[in-house]
Amino acid sequence: MDILSLFVVVPVITILALFLAKGLKQSRIVAMAGSLVQLAMAFHLVYAYVKERAINDDIMVFMRDVVWYEDFNIHYAIGVDGISVALITLTAIVVLAGVFISWMMEDLPKEFFVSLIVLATGVYGFFISIDLFTMFVFYEIAVIPMYLLIGIWGTGPKEHAAMKLTLMLMGASAVLLVGILGIYLNSNADGGPLTFNILEIAQVNIPFAAQQLFFPLTFIGFAVLGALFPFHTWSPDGHASAPTAVSMLHAGVLMKLGGYGVFRVAMFLLPEGAMDWSWFFIILSATGVIYGALGAVRQTDLKYINAYSSVSHLGMVLFALLMLNKTAWTGAILQSLSHGFMTALFFALIGMIYGRTKTRDIYKLGGLLKVIPFISVVYVIAGMASLGLPGFSGFTAEMNIFVGAFQHTDMFHRVATIVSISAIVVTAVYILRVIGLMLMGPVKSEFKDLPKVRWYEVTGILLLLIPITALGVAPLWISDLIMESIKPFIQGVIQ
Amino acid sequence: MNFSYTILIPLIPFVVFLILGLNHKRIKPAVSGYIGVFGLMASAFLSYFTAYKYFFTVPKIDGIYQQITHKTVWMNFTDTLHIDMGVLIDPISIMMLIVVTTISLLVHIYSRGYMKGDPGYTKFFAFLGLFTFSMLGLVLATNLFQIYIFWELVGVSSFLLIGYYYTKPSAIIAAKKAFIVTRFADLFFLIGIITIGFYTGTFDFETLNDPTGEVITNWASTSFMGLSVLTWALILIFIGGAGKSAMFPLHIWLPDAMEGPTPVSALIHAATMVVAGVYLVARLFPMYYFIEDGFALNIVAYVGGFSSLFAAIIAITQKDIKRVLAFSTMSQIGYMMMALGVSGYDGHEGVGYMASMFHLFTHSMFKALLFLGAGSVIHAVHSNMMGDMGNLKKYMPITNITFLIAAFAIAGVPPFAGFWSKDEILVAAFEYSKPLYAVGLIVAGLTAFYMFRLYFSIFHGKKTAYKHTPHEAPASMTFPLLFLAVMSVVAGFIPFSNFVTANKEPFEAHLNYPLAAIAVATGLIGIILAYVFYKNPTEYPAKCRKAFGSFYKWAYAKFYMDELYFFVTRKIIFNCVSQPIAWFDKNVIDAFMEGIGSGTLKASEKTKKMQSGYFQDYAMAFVGGVVVISIVLIYIFKN
Amino acid sequence: MILGVSIYEILSLTTILFFIGIYGFFTRKNLISVLMSIELILNATVINFVVINKYMFPEKLEGAIFGIFIIAVAAAETALAIAIIINLYRQITSVEVDDTTTLKY
Amino acid sequence: MEQIIFYILAVVIIGMAFASVTSKKMLRSVIYLLFVLMGIAGLYFLLDYNFLAAVQLTVYAGGVIVLVIFSVFLIHHLEMELEMANLRKKIIAALISIGGIATFLWVIWNHHFNVVENYNAIEVRDIGLKLLSTGDGGFILPFEVISILLLAAMIGAIIVAKSNKLTDKNEAQS
């Protein structure tokens, strides 16, 4: 068994083991053990990758190729570069944190953990695939458990939210499928056989007309998952209804699939299309950045605030990807990682606050710093990280993006960049608004004694907080790791 | 010369922060105070040692102080552009090191008394440590991005400290305001930095500031709207500095920031953080001076001058002693900015630069003293308002004396520290532009007046009946007062021009007697007026108030700047932008997406009627369909 | 062959008969009536088989034999249908189409 | 002569068929149908398919109609008015039917049929031989299938019609 396929096999084994487990206690132990193994594997993968990279100069390493369906030349083709390794590590951490946060999932625990790990399987598979079709299959595997997770374990108008989320994402995948098939059917432009393999397609000069046609489809197909304005509306409703761990996984990991897909498929395979269309999507994403931030200012529900904040931050990812240069792309990947940890942390904290106070309305909360200091302090830290405070991951990511975006000298890019930068002020406004209203202020009588934070909550929080700080304090190695992997991609665009 | 140990100067407070912050429940208050104080003592000692080593043992080359850097790459942007982290040792950074560590140390000592019994005692020291770390990092920054990083950290520690009494709504609002206003300014700062980074290919101060280097000599190669792009960048950077240094019109956060504990006000909002803007301009002084022939520097001068006058006028009318001091701070920083703005570069022409740094130094001493003294008073009276005080000299002799010394110092009375630095500023302004000189002079007079108004209303004036008899503060609080009082007297005698100059080349500064005399006379007039008005309760203040009428009202309301901002943010941004966006999101975009869903639902609701369950209907549809299809097929294949 | 009657006329007749059956099938609400309409339709078809056999392929017998088959099947079908109808009547005491709409949405 | 008989038959068939599908009285409707079937039998006689005509008469007129009448007796009061579909549905049905007639007629009248002039009558014997023939073009298999089908239908009809137990059960449940 090669090192990458394990990332699909281990979750599947975990799921099988979960079927044997009984009750909450057993299933959570099994889920935790499975996720721990995955995390260990992720760390080992980082180590192995760095070692392998030193001697191997390919775009992807640890490649493996098994024919899956011969008639259409579909392969189970896997391989990783620095970007996927980083995102896999992110996934492993967030999944484990999610398991810890759901430690007390009373309701159908077994089924919950199964769905959670199915989702994780899809995500891992997506990140390791280099075959478009396999990638798409894993993408669907990741998206579909969402419906169950929200529909069954959610709160509020959960059926509606689940339906909306699933339908919008399915609609996007329909568009995406057209895009992928378009790429596939044009992959013989240089006379070779039709193929789904990304690396092989990248060698082919897909005709410009096809690129122009299929780039927007592929881009939108992925970007809906990355909450591209104006296709973001599933995210606030979905997050508001989803249970905590699902919000974490969804915002933290699943939404990254969008940016990753845009990068790996749309940008890499259709560079000319990307250049041709970039102006349009830059407008959308820059609008999304500022729009999400401004939208968050007016919300009163914590989860909504966070969802809009995600729209803004992920808009930044897409914006950076569209800048088509190395610095901005590094920033985009860093932002994906950073946002993944941060937003997962946020949702975890919100879940804890909600679990204790039974409300998410910031006007109803108040003075929590005194009552549940640990959660509140971490919330402040997460808030500071989110508004791009140096020393946390958000800052390094955003600076890369801004500096990268500034490499374009024309007026259009300048204006878009400045619009995006100005979102950091608005971000400060809504973060501080939440901190001011919810955490500070006089203690409200109904929240005088809330339960203390528990060990599993602390573990979950620390799992997320440590990477945020690590990325922020010492970004050099990770940014170099990513930049190294971006080089082959950027060459396609420069040509 | 190896100065890499200077990295310890910021790191020690950071370690203190980590120790206290992570264990704030376990460490006893008494211990945490000592940890903070000793940590800072180590830092302060190291910076004194560095100053000694730098100024007296490092050889000057061609009579110029060398710039020493130790740095390492922190993050790569492009192949050439990267952020470094490191330390940069040159005269101004050393001066700032001394200022920051000294004031911080004294504030630490002072806080041990002031914060006694506070439930968040340990947390307070942790925050102080964090702030000191960030400020020192800022001071030692080797490049623009590093300065930005610590700039933000300083901002956040300021936020935490202003919001220290986090259960008090006004403190929360003030903290938020401070953070957001400075963040807004930082936005411009950031754009400026990125612009500079893009057009010059470096963030490094050494490269940027080299007067013969590529950057400065080639400023004209780019242009944007009639000015060099670099000029724009410098203006943007100055906006960032203005935000942190509370220059008009970004000053509105400073008075509110007084909601924080008084030692914090002394440390952050009087002596160190607020001068970061001045430091920033001074740091980039060669760029400001040479690029576009000092266009951006002119702006600095005028903004500084205006802010200084503006704040001084407001300060006269305020009733809260900390707000008076806050506006005074703003006014004095405006002074420093003005001094930088009017400065030249070479030799004696750079007197403005030297004066600015000198004033920064002395100001930090006496302003910290004033704040700490005010803190001592507030500690005793439990009120911020001047109306609640009076005749405190009887109860608090040490505070009285030290406060008086500080007031003399800020009023520019010889031989106190303020006199020397202020005199140099006025000399520089006089040489540069007469209107600015006039502004400077007026401000000097106003400063003397409002300062002594404050002094007399607190320590003299009406006999107030106190609920609890005020008493002198404990030794931990009076020691810093006394120390700073001494500094306020002797700091002026430091031959500053030997150490800190624009081109790093020492020169001999000497008093310009006529100008000094005028300045002193103005100051004295202010003091005398204040004496007449406020020594004993009189009718004059009321009369004056009447005489100025609406102008007084305007000044008292801080010229309605807060209301203006409030209007812009609340009414325009919130109601006219954010609200409609929320509406738009819900009713247009989301409604559209939902509409697709509910439209499908409705369509199916309608079409499901066709599924009536009557087999005849199905048959009818079938036969009808067959007929129609037949007709169509016949039509198609007829020919 | 019928003297003086062309195949067109006979086919027209069966067509009309067929669609009268269809019309009845659509409009009748009683199951037995519907069954009778089906008989009409079937008969129209049988005539067609027979007529075309007669007019176009007089040597062959397939049309007639099919006619017999259809009649046989129709008889079987009728018997079954009536059995079902009676059973239905026993269950819901109605043979109206309106009462048998379990296929609804 | 034959032409006249045909037209009479045609008018009877169509008129009776129409009366059968529109009549409001159940029993009358059945009787009209009987006339239609008999008319069709007449048509077969006219076509010289005597055996077929006989089958038509015995099976349809004799068997089916009697079955239907009995079931009508079982279920309906004799003079009960039948419920008819509403006007809208009638119009739609009529339109579809007329459209269908028009289409079919158009097709039929536009098609050229290879009519072979002949007047030979078909013997019952031929039909019987053909039905039971196992040779080329023999219909023995369909014949057997049909017989099994009829048997199955018969048994099925009995079971369905006699399923008292099921009824009891259902009633007991309800």
pLDDT at D165 over 60: no
**Pair D84, C29: CB distance under 8 Å:** yes
pLDDT value at residue D11: 92
Contacting residues for B500 by C-beta, under 8 A, at least 6 apart: B91, B92, B95, B353, B354, B357, B358
In the three-class reduction of DSSP (H, G, I as helix; E, B as strand; rest coil), residue A327 is classed as helix
Structural domain boundaries, residue D165: 121-174
Query: pLDDT truncated to tens, each residue of chain A (495 aa)?
Result: 678 888 888 888 888 888 888 888 888 888 888 888 888 988 888 888 888 888 877 778 888 888 888 888 888 888 888 888 888 888 888 888 888 888 887 778 888 888 888 888 888 889 888 888 888 888 888 888 888 888 888 887 888 888 888 888 888 888 889 988 888 888 887 777 888 888 888 888 888 888 888 888 888 888 888 888 788 888 888 888 888 888 888 888 888 888 888 888 888 888 888 888 888 888 888 888 888 888 888 788 888 888 888 888 888 888 888 888 888 888 888 888 888 888 888 888 888 888 888 888 888 888 787 888 888 888 888 888 888 888 888 888 888 888 888 888 888 888 888 888 888 888 888 888 888 888 887 887 787 777 888 888 888 888 888 888 888 888 888 888 888 888 777 776 665
Q: Which of B239, B218, B237 is nearest to B228 (CA)?
A: B218
D29-33: Cβ within 8 A, 24+ apart? D29/C33, D29/C36, D29/D82, D30/C36, D30/D65, D30/D68, D30/D69, D30/D72, D33/C36, D33/C39, D33/C40, D33/D65, D33/D68
Handedness of CA B477, B483, B486, B492 (dihedral sign): negative
From chain C, pick out residues whose CB is under 8 angstroms from the CB of D18.
Answer: 20
CA distance A439 to A425: 20
Dihedral angle, C-alpha B292, B296, B297, B301, nearest 10 °: 140
pLDDT value at residue A364: 83
Among B22, B75, B144, B196, most A C-beta atoms within 10 A, so best to mutate, is B75
**Pair B76, B92: CB distance under 8 Å:** no
The DSSP 8-state label assigned to residue B464 in this structure reads P
Tokens at C30, concatenated: 């009683």
Chains B and D touch (3+ CB pairs under 8 A): yes
Torsion-angle region of D68 (φ positive above 0: left; ψ -120 to 50: alpha; else: beta): alpha
**Which residues on adjacent β-strands are paired with residue B227?**
B224
Residue D106 distance to chain B (closest CA, Å): 10
- Owner of token pair 């209303």: B457
Instruction: Write down which chains contact chain B via at least 3 CB pairs under 8 A.
Output: A, C, D
- Owner of token pair 């703003």: B330
Q: What is the mean pLDDT of chain D?
A: 83
pLDDT value at residue A419: 86
From chain C, pick out residues whose CB is under 8 angstroms from the CB of D91.
Answer: none
Residue boundaries of the structural domains of chain A: 6-489
From chain B, pick out residues whose CB is under 8 angstroms from the CB of C104.
Answer: 611-613
Percent of chain B with pLDDT over 90: 0
pLDDT at D173 over 50: no
Instruction: Write down which chains contact chain D via at least 3 CB pairs under 8 A.
Output: B, C
Percent of chain D with pLDDT over 70: 91
pLDDT at D171 over 60: no
pLDDT at D174 over 50: no
From chain D, pick out residues whose CB is under 8 angstroms from the CB of C51.
Answer: 47
- Owner of token pair 């266009």: B295
Q: Is residue D146 in a domain?
A: yes
pLDDT at D168 over 70: no
The answer to whether the CB atoms of D103 and B631 lie below 8 A apart is yes
The answer to whether the CB atoms of B613 and C103 lie below 8 A apart is yes
Cis amide prior to B249 (ω within 30 degrees): yes
Radius of gyration of chain D (CA): 21
Q: Is residue D44 in a domain?
A: no
CA distances from B255 to A395, B157, B221, B321 (A): 29, 17, 42, 11
CA distance B302 to A365: 46
Among B606, B615, B626, B627, most C C-beta atoms within 10 A, so best to mutate, is B615
The answer to whether the CB atoms of C77 and D153 lie below 8 A apart is yes
Bridging pattern class, strands A74-80 and B68-76: unpaired
Residue A304 distance to chain B (closest CA, Å): 11
pLDDT value at residue B493: 81
Instruction: Write down which chains contact chain A via at least 3 CB pairs under 8 A.
Output: B
| Burial of C98 from C-beta contacts in 10 A (0-12 / 13-18 / 19+) | exposed
Chains A and C touch (3+ CB pairs under 8 A): no
Whether chain D has a CB inside 8 Å of the CB on B623: the answer is yes
Contacting residues for A95 by C-beta, under 8 A, at least 6 apart: A35, A38, A39, A116, A117, A120, A249, A253
List the single range of A123-127, A369-373, C30-34, D77-81 with lowest mean pLDDT: D77-81
Confidence of residue D98 (pLDDT cuts 50, 70, 90): very high
Handedness of CA A483, A485, A487, A491 (dihedral sign): negative
Chain C, chain D: beta-carbon pairs less than 8 Å apart? 232
Chains A and B touch (3+ CB pairs under 8 A): yes
ipTM of this complex prediction, to 2 decimal places? 0.73
The DSSP 8-state label assigned to residue B293 in this structure reads G
Question: How many residues would you count in chain D?
Answer: 174
Whether chain C has a CB inside 8 Å of the CB on D154: the answer is yes
Radius of gyration of chain B (CA): 31
Tokens at B575, concatenated: 């109601």
- List, for residues A282-293, the tens digit of each pLDDT value: 888 888 888 888
Angle between helices B276-283 and B91-114 (to 10 degrees): 170
Tokens at D47, concatenated: 């076509």
pTM: 0.80
**Pair D107, B634: CB distance under 8 Å:** yes
Q: Which of B33, B89, B539, B483 is nearest to B266 (CA)?
A: B483
pLDDT value at residue A458: 86
Residue spans of chain B under pLDDT 70: 1, 462-467, 639
Specify the CATH number for C7-102; select among 3.40.50.2000, 3.30.410.10, 1.20.1260.10, 1.10.287.3510. 1.10.287.3510
CA distance B312 to A433: 32
For residue A13, the Cα-to-chain-centroid distance in whole angstroms is: 24
Q: Is residue D129 in a domain?
A: yes
DSSP letter string, B486-506: HHHHHGGGS-GGGT--TTS--
CA distance B360 to B489: 15
What does residue A151 show for φ and ψ, rounded to 5 degrees?
-65, -35
Q: Residue A403 is nearest to which of B163, B179, B197, comparing CB atoms? A: B197
Helix intervals (H) in A154-207 = 158-185, 198-203
pLDDT value at residue C101: 67
- Owner of token pair 């001011």: A436
From chain B, pick out residues whose CB is under 8 angstroms from the CB of A295.
Answer: 578, 581-582, 585
DSSP letter string, chain D: -HHHHHHHHHHHHHHHHHHHHH-SBHHHHHHHHHHHHHHHHHHHHHTT-HHHHHHIIIIIIIIIHHHHHHHHHHH--TTPBPPB--HHHHHHHHHHHHHHHHHHHHHHHHSPP-PPP--PPPPHHHHHHHHH--STT--HHHHHHHHHHHHHHHHHHHHHHT-HHHHHHHHHH-
Q: What angle do CA A454, A458, A461 make, to 5 degrees?
A: 140
CA distance D158 to D170: 19
**Pair B107, B263: CB distance under 8 Å:** yes
Angle between helices B434-459 and B417-432 (to 10 degrees): 160
For residue A199, the Cα-to-chain-centroid distance in whole angstroms is: 23
Tokens at B329, concatenated: 């701070």
Q: How many domains does chain D have?
A: 1
Q: Is residue D16 in a domain?
A: no
Q: What angle do CA A102, A104, A110 make, to 5 degrees?
A: 70
CA distances from C53 to C7, D47, D142 (A): 11, 10, 19
Tokens at B350, concatenated: 């750079």
Element (H, E) at A62: strand A61-69
CA distance B565 to B558: 12
**Pair A130, A197: CB distance under 8 Å:** yes
